[in-house]
Structure 1
Amino acid sequence: LESTEHVVVIVIHHISADGGSMAPLARDLLTAYSARMAGGQPGWTPLPVQFADFALWQREVLGSEDDSTSPASKQLEYWKDTLADLPTLLDLPLDRQRTPHRSPQGARVEFEIDAEQKAALAEVARRHNATVFMVVHAAFAVLLSRMSGTEDIALGTPVGGRGDAALDDLVGMFVNTLVLRTKVAQSATFGDVLESARETDLGAFEHTDVPFERLVEALAPVRSNTYAPLVQVMLTFQNNETARLELPGLTVTALDSEATLAKFDLTLAIDEQGAEAQGPTRAVLTYAADIFDEATVAKYADRFQRILDAVVADSSVVVGDIDILSADEHAELDIHIESEAPVASLGSHSVAEELAAKPLPELLDAAASINPDGIALSHNGIDVTYRQWHEKSGELAKTLASVGVGPEAAVTVALSTLLPGLLEGASGEGFADQFAGMLAGVIAEATSASDGRVNALPVDLIECWHEQVSLDPETLALAGNGSRLSRRELNTRANQVAHELVARGVRPDDVVALVVPRSIEWIVGMLATWKAGAAYAPIDPAYPAERIAAMVED
């Protein structure tokens, strides 16, 4: 620094101040500085309320959660109902597997929403009786759905919490985080998704007083050191008052910190503070650097803008038909599309049709070559890279070929995402509970069938299964596609396939690729693979083409 330059660093814990506190804090600081330089004392205008007054008022108005008629109790019940059965994790494709302890290190990718696009988004909002925030929320949810392959999208957003003008000049922590949960069906139009986002946002903004920490405590989600609870992605609109830094005889400039912290996997921030009415709006994607690379997040930004372009052109566009891949990405997948084809025909359906015609080994070879250390699949807490998958499947292919398995043969595949619904009358959780008992017995019974090659299971699970079989071996175990299997029949069929796998050379720790439509055979193949002591590689062709593309590219 030059002798005439100085830097003032203000360090504030978040428990003491939020983003809305920066403008009044700056005013107070500049008022004090100016007064002291003039040889006087600062003449601050007395505040009508203090933070303690706000805390007492909030407690009095909201009441006790123990009182079922109180606003506090009703708001908490709203959130419990709204977030019931919320998925634990939004499973986006990552560049690296999560580490046991999440790092706060982050980085940023910046882009702009130009003036024309901004005006078009405002027009979409007007036509749908919504706000620009709601339109951006819906578009961001579409992106997250397309990238994760799930329709249940939850993201967080901060709210100011200053519901009274008397609080505007107060320094304190008023911000709360809301969970916005929206369904994004690929067959729905963007207008449908926007209407859903609108209802979600209006409902959430009417129930802003339950602290996020209290919500986590009440819902008790599965906790992990590797990701944030309830939401891993945030959407923020930065529209707080900008602090005016003006002092007589001085030039004052605000400096951004070079350090970027990532509290979440991804945070999309739309900066309305510095946006001029007729100019572009700055947008920033902050990401966790331990799981994402800059190039990956840059593609997220590019795909988000493609979604915005599509919905401002036609808000009735079907979500699954929005083409979010660039020309280079299409070329990398060797998908040849006529250059004169309309954009509407370049969506996920046409991409999926092209991919369906590609041999899986071809896609796997490309993925292993492009990104060998990328995560190809995750199951039961185990991550498998493209290199590992490629090597193991190559070994298995040689083994199968050596015993006479030819091109027309099929080796069964299990897809863990398709389990719910195969058991009659059972929910996803109910299926998991019942299937765990069946699985324990199946593998226990197969121990002798595979000459001890199956890893031992806890005795209590094995005994539980044997007890179930002995009590009623004819109890219905699985039903689907017009077929029904009892516990005894399921075990018998799985044992037969397990014997065949062992006879064909499958050994402990081998990988058997399972590729079979949703069916009872799917379950039989999975059990048989475990009986043989091997692992299975689930391949789900139902994933959106964009997710498959991301796996291949990244």
Structure 2
Amino acid sequence: FAVFLARMSGTGDIAIGTPVAGRGDPALDDLVGMFVNTLVLRTPVDGASNFTTLLSTVRETDLAAFEHADVPFERVVQALNPARSTTRHPLFQVMLVLQNQEHPKLELAGLNARIEDIDHAATQFDLTLTISERYYDKGAPTGLNAAFTYTADLFDEDTVRGFADRFTRLLDAAVADPDSPVGDIDLLDPTEKQLILADWNHTDHAPTTDTLVSIFGAQAARTPDAPAVVDGDRCLSYAEFNARVNRLARHLITEGVGPETIVALRMRRSLDFVVGVYATLTAGGAYLPIDPDHPAERTHFILSVAQPTCMLTTTHDDHIDLPDPVPVLHTDTIDLSRMSAAPVTDADRRAPLRPQNTAYVMFTSGSTGRPKGVTVAH
């Protein structure tokens, strides 16, 4: 069971709780009462060890532990004083129960009596494996019954059925070849192997030559009259929006914007911001959004690291001194009337635009240090 838990959890230090009868002293035989105590069995599991060696180690460790089975569990917890949490049991979260006591025959005059197991419909631990011995009528053993009890907040029935299947598979493999490393025992059935090794990794897809620009252009061609951007009372159709984007993109190209260059957009959410994003992309550049309300120190740092070709803003949002030499373009004052609204192609750009070109640059919050830039391709 320790090997199973080690393989399922990816850790080699396994602590399992187990109940003991607490009646090691013959003087207790005739006393009525509950003497059950909890013992913690700790097992280091090395995946390179074979099952025979590990079994011998566990046997010695557990027999030594049973010599101290009368030490109250509460005393052990108090002495170790682990970090306590209401979400889990201290010292262990998984229990192994071995029911190897024969059921006594209860004989009462005029009554037929038998033992009935009660389902408490509740569990004290995250996972409990209960193993009970079966016997013939004459007392000879016939095998073992095993059952998992689990916390429904953590596991569902299918998951625990999977545990049972893998545990059985591990037992079969350990008995068939006890000298093989326990880390090499295969716990997966063919269906699970197919799912994990093949199905989940089947991520092949056809290469694409599409970019955000070509995808947007196709949409504009399909629905030129449909609303593209709404900002309060302002609304632009795809055709109107596309025309503004193309004019601004041509202007950005004259400013040196092209593939693998960066345009900083320091403006608030607005129609002008969205035009600026798509104009930057259409020119072939990557846009870098900067919040006008962010501290000037952060803005200066980002601009010094990103080194944008230029910065798009509005006269309303431009209220800080920027580090030289970042050219500032105010979208609400640029005269774009002479720029063509025709679609921008690679013939107009400073270099061809490809899907692997950078489209977007995002800087982290900097909560663990200085902000770091992340580039995202089309």
What letter matches 2:43 in structure 1? Answer: T
Could you say which residue in structure 2 is the equivalent of 1:311? 174
Q: For the residues of structure 1 that align with 2:9 and 2:48, how far apart are their CA atoms?
A: 16
Aligned counterpart in structure 1 of residue 119 of structure 2, from 255, 258, 277: 258
Could you say which residue in structure 2 is the equivalent of 1:190? 51
Displacement of 1:165 in angstroms is: 2.9
- 1:176 corresponds to 2:52: no
Could you say which residue in structure 1 is the equivalent of 2:356? none
Give the alignment of 1:229-308 within 5 angstroms: 229-272=90-133, 277-308=140-171
Aligned counterpart in structure 1 of residue 18 of structure 2, from 146, 154, 157: 157
Whether contact under 8 Å (1:242, 1:273) holds in the other structure is no
Q: For the residues of structure 1 that align with 2:184 and 2:97, how far apart are their CA atoms?
A: 27
Q: For the residues of structure 1 that align with 2:102 and 2:29, how far apart are their CA atoms?
A: 10
Aligned counterpart in structure 2 of residue 531 of structure 1, from 366, 369, 372: 369
Displacement of 1:247 in angstroms is: 2.7
What letter matches 1:530 in structure 2? Answer: T
Q: For the residues of structure 1 that align with 2:119 and 2:146, how far apart are their CA atoms?
A: 17
Secondary structure, counterpart of 2:89 in structure 1: coil
Unaligned runs of 5+ in 2: 205-258, 262-294, 302-359, 373-378
Whether contact under 8 Å (2:134, 2:141) holds in the other structure is no
Aligned counterpart in structure 2 of residue 201 of structure 1, from 55, 59, 62: 62
Displacement of 1:209 in angstroms is: 2.5
What letter matches 2:3 in structure 1? Answer: V
- After superposition, the Cα gap between the structure-2 partners of 1:281 and 1:334, relative to the gap in structure 1 and judged at 3 Å, is same
What letter matches 1:284 in structure 2? Answer: A
Displacement of 1:189 in angstroms is: 1.1
Displacement of 1:450 in angstroms is: 4.5
Q: For the residues of structure 1 that align with 2:167 and 2:300, how far apart are their CA atoms?
A: 52
Secondary structure, counterpart of 1:330 in structure 2: helix
- Give the TM-score normalised by structure 2: 0.53
Whether contact under 8 Å (1:176, 1:211) holds in the other structure is yes
- 1:225 corresponds to 2:86: yes
- After superposition, the Cα gap between the structure-2 partners of 1:506 and 1:177, relative to the gap in structure 1 and judged at 3 Å, is same
Q: CA RMSD in A?
A: 3.3
Displacement of 1:304 in angstroms is: 0.8
Whether contact under 8 Å (1:155, 1:234) holds in the other structure is yes
Percent of pairs with identical residues: 50
Whether contact under 8 Å (2:39, 2:69) holds in the other structure is yes
Give the alignment of 1:123-142 within 5 angstroms: 140-142=1-3
- After superposition, the Cα gap between the structure-2 partners of 1:289 and 1:326, relative to the gap in structure 1 and judged at 3 Å, is same
Could you say which residue in structure 2 is the equivalent of 1:506? 363
Deviations, residues 178-198 of structure 1 (Å, cap 9, x unaligned): 111111111111122212211
Could you say which residue in structure 2 is the equivalent of 1:119? none
Whether contact under 8 Å (1:182, 1:197) holds in the other structure is yes
Deviations, residues 205-243 of structure 1 (Å, cap 9, x unaligned): 122232111111111101111110000011111123413
- After superposition, the Cα gap between the structure-2 partners of 1:242 and 1:169, relative to the gap in structure 1 and judged at 3 Å, is farther
What letter matches 1:257 in structure 2? Answer: I
Could you say which residue in structure 2 is the equivalent of 1:143? 4
Richer in helix (by share): 1
Secondary structure, counterpart of 1:279 in structure 2: strand
Q: Give 1 or 2 for the bigger CA radius of gyration.
A: 2
Deviations, residues 485-529 of structure 1 (Å, cap 9, x unaligned): xxxxxxxxxxxxxxxxxx931344xxxxxxxxxxxxxxxxxxx78
Whether contact under 8 Å (2:133, 2:141) holds in the other structure is no
Displacement of 1:404 in angstroms is: 6.3
Q: For the residues of structure 2 that align with 1:195 and 1:450, how far apart are their CA atoms?
A: 62
Secondary structure, counterpart of 2:363 in structure 1: coil
Aligned counterpart in structure 1 of residue 187 of structure 2, from 319, 324, 338: 324
- After superposition, the Cα gap between the structure-2 partners of 1:283 and 1:507, relative to the gap in structure 1 and judged at 3 Å, is same
Moved over 6 A (4+): none
Deviations, residues 300-319 of structure 1 (Å, cap 9, x unaligned): 11111111101111111111
Deviates more, 1:258-267 or 1:147-156: 258-267
Unaligned runs of 5+ in 1: 1-139, 337-354, 363-402, 406-446, 454-502, 509-527, 535-554
- After superposition, the Cα gap between the structure-2 partners of 1:218 and 1:311, relative to the gap in structure 1 and judged at 3 Å, is same
- After superposition, the Cα gap between the structure-2 partners of 1:309 and 1:530, relative to the gap in structure 1 and judged at 3 Å, is same
What letter matches 1:305 in structure 2? Answer: T
Displacement of 1:169 in angstroms is: 3.1
Give the alignment of 1:370-519 within 5 angstroms: 450=298, 504-508=361-365
Could you say which residue in structure 2 is the equivalent of 1:37? none
Displacement of 1:532 in angstroms is: 5.7
Q: For the residues of structure 2 that align with 1:229 and 1:261, how far apart are their CA atoms?
A: 18
Displacement of 1:265 in angstroms is: 0.7
What letter matches 2:195 in structure 1? Answer: E
- After superposition, the Cα gap between the structure-2 partners of 1:504 and 1:280, relative to the gap in structure 1 and judged at 3 Å, is same
